[in-house]
Amino acid sequence: MLHALRVLFALLTLSFAATPFARPEPFTAEAMWSLDRLGEPALSPDGRLAVVPVTRYDVAANTGFTDLWLIPTSGGPARQLTSDPAPDTQPAFSPDGKWIAFVSRRGEDKENQIYVIAVDGGEARRVTQVPTGADLPRWFPDGHRLAFVTPIWTDLVRWEDQAARLKERQESRMTARVWEKAPIAYWDHFLDDRERHLFAIDVNGGEPVAITRQSGYALSNADVDAFSYDISPDGTEVAFVANVDKSGIEANFDVIVLPSCGCKPARNITADNPADDGSPRYSPDGRWLAFSQQRIPRFYADRARLMVLDRKSGAVRKLTEDWDRSVSNAIWLPDSRGLIAAVDDAATYRLYRFDLSGGTPRAVTTSPSFSGLALGRHNTAVALRQSFTEPPTLVRVDVASGKATALSTFNDAKLARFAFGKVESVTYKGARNDDIQMFVVYPADFDPSKKYPVYMLLHGGPHNAMVDSVQWRWNAHVFANWGYIVTWHNFHGSSGFGQAFADSINPDWVTLPYEDTIKAAQWLMAQPFVDKDRMAAGGGSYGGFLAATLLGREHPFKTLVAHAAVYNEYTQIASDYGAEKPRFYHYWENPEEFARISPHTHAANFKTPTLIVHGQMDLRVPVNHGIELFNTLQSKGVRSKLVYFPDENHWVLKPQNSLFWYRTVREWIAQYVEPGAR
In this structure, is the dihedral angle defined by the CA atoms of residues 627, 632, 635 and 639, taken in order, positive or negative?
negative
Residue 345 domain flag: no
21-35, 133-147, 648-662 — which is least confidently predicted?
A: 21-35
Residue 347, domain member (yes or no): no
Residue 512 lies in a domain: yes
Q: With respect to residue 209, please indicate whether it lies within any of the assigned structural domains.
A: no
How many CA atoms are closer than 13 Å to the CA of 41, on its beta-carbon side? 33
> What's the pLDDT at 19?
46
595: domain CATH number is 3.40.50.1820
Q: Name the percent of the chain lying above pLDDT 90.
A: 94
Pick the range with the lowest mean pLDDT from 271-285, 303-317, 373-387, 421-435: 373-387
Residues in the chain: 678
User: What's residue 16's pLDDT?
Assistant: 41
For the chain, the domain total comes to 1
Per-residue CA distances from 542 to 17, 65, 457, 562, 615 (Å): 37, 31, 12, 10, 15
Q: What's the pLDDT tens digit per position in 571-622?
A: 999 999 999 999 999 999 999 999 999 999 999 999 999 999 999 999 999 9
Per-residue pLDDT tens digits for 515-537 = 999 999 999 999 999 999 999 99
CA distances from 549 to 149, 511, 523, 537 (A): 42, 10, 20, 12
Neighbour-count burial of 192, counting CB atoms closer than 10 A to its CB (0-12 exposed, 13-18 middle, 19+ buried): middle
**Looking at the predicted structure, is the pLDDT value of residue 106 above 70?**
yes
CA 486 to CA 503: how far, in whole Å?
27
What local confidence, expressed as pLDDT, does residue 535 receive?
A: 98
Pairwise CA distance, residues 125 & 82, whole Å:
12
268 Rama sector, left if φ>0, alpha if ψ -120 to 50, beta otherwise: beta
| Contact by Cβ (8 Å): 103, 134 | yes
The answer as to whether 533 is a domain residue is yes
Measure the CA–CA gap between 340 and 355, rounded to whole angstroms: 9
User: Model's pTM, two decimal places?
Assistant: 0.94
- Verify cis geometry, omega within 30 degrees of 0, for the bond prior to 368: yes
Whether 248 is covered by a domain: the verdict is no
* Pairing of the two strands 418-419 and 25-26: parallel
Q: Which of 15-19, 425-429, 579-583 is predicted least confidently?
A: 15-19
Rounded Cα distance, 30 and 663, in Å: 10
Q: Is the pLDDT of residue 21 over 80?
A: no
pLDDT of residue 302: 97
The C-alpha atoms of residue 241 and residue 221 are separated, in whole angstroms, by: 11
pLDDT of residue 205: 86
Report the distance separating Cα 505 and Cα 606, nearest Å: 24
Q: What is the mean pLDDT of residues 484-508?
A: 98
pLDDT of residue 215: 96
**Rounded Cα distance, 81 and 389, in Å:** 28
Closest CA to 236 of 277, 272, 194, 286: 286
Domain housing 568: 422-672
Q: Taking 80 as the threshold, does the pLDDT of residue 136 lie above it?
A: yes
Dist CA 103 CA 207 (whole Å): 18
Q: What does the radius of gyration of the chain's CA atoms come to, in whole angstroms? A: 25
pLDDT digits (tens, 9 = 90+) for 352-409: 999 999 899 999 999 999 999 999 888 889 999 999 999 999 999 999 999 999 999 9
CA dist 450 and 677 (Å) reads 6
Instruction: State which H helix or E strand residue 591 sits in.
Output: helix 591-597
- Domain-located, residue 195: no
Amino acid at the residue 344: D
pLDDT at residue number 377? 83
Sign of the C-alpha dihedral, residues 346, 349, 351, 354? positive
Q: How far apart are CA 476 and CA 481, in angstroms?
A: 9
Q: Are 475 and 29 in contact (CB under 8 A)?
A: yes
How would you classify the pairing of strands 530-540 and 452-458?
parallel
- pLDDT single digits (tens) 235-276: 999 999 999 999 999 999 999 999 999 889 999 999 999 999
AA letter at 335: D
Burial of 537 (0-12, 13-18, 19+ CB in 10 A): buried
DSSP output for 509-562:
SSHHHHHHHHHHHHHHHTSTTEEEEEEEEEEETHHHHHHHHHHTS----SEEEE
> Is 80 exceeded by the pLDDT of residue 15?
no
Residue 14 has pLDDT above 70, yes or no: no
Cα 606 to Cα 610: distance, rounded to the nearest angstrom: 10
pLDDT at position 137 over 60: yes
